[in-house]
Amino acid sequence: MKTVQISLNSIDKVKSFVNEVTKFDCDFDLVSGRYVIDAKSIMGIFSLDLSKPIDLNIHAEGAADDVMAALKPYMV
């Protein structure tokens, strides 16, 4: 598992982020305080406080480099 901080401070960023992570078979969790949300759930993401950066846990084994490249625009 790898953890990175991301920023999703606009509706368009959230939409494009969900489109990117759904392309991968691995699991992604967004952690904000005591809440853990599936990063592929657009409704779940909107339930979080998006005004500050959020931790993204990436549960990927082989395709970690591809995942990191796709998530580059959202990283803090």
| Residue 57: predicted pLDDT | 95
Domain of residue 48, residue span:
2-74
The stretch 61-73 carries a mean pLDDT of: 85
The stretch 42-51 carries a mean pLDDT of: 94
Strand partners, 34: none
Q: Give the chain's domain count.
A: 1
Q: pLDDT by residue (tens digit) across 1-27?
A: 899 999 999 999 999 999 999 999 999
Residue 35: CATH number of its domain: 3.30.1340.10
Is the pLDDT confidence value at 66 over 90?
no
User: pTM to 2 decimals?
Assistant: 0.90
Exposure of 68 in the CB half-sphere (CA atoms within 13 A): 10
Query: E-assigned strands of the chain?
Result: 2-6, 27-32, 35-38, 54-59
| Residue 63: predicted pLDDT | 62
Pairwise CA distance, residues 65 & 38, whole Å: 21
The stretch 47-66 carries a mean pLDDT of: 88
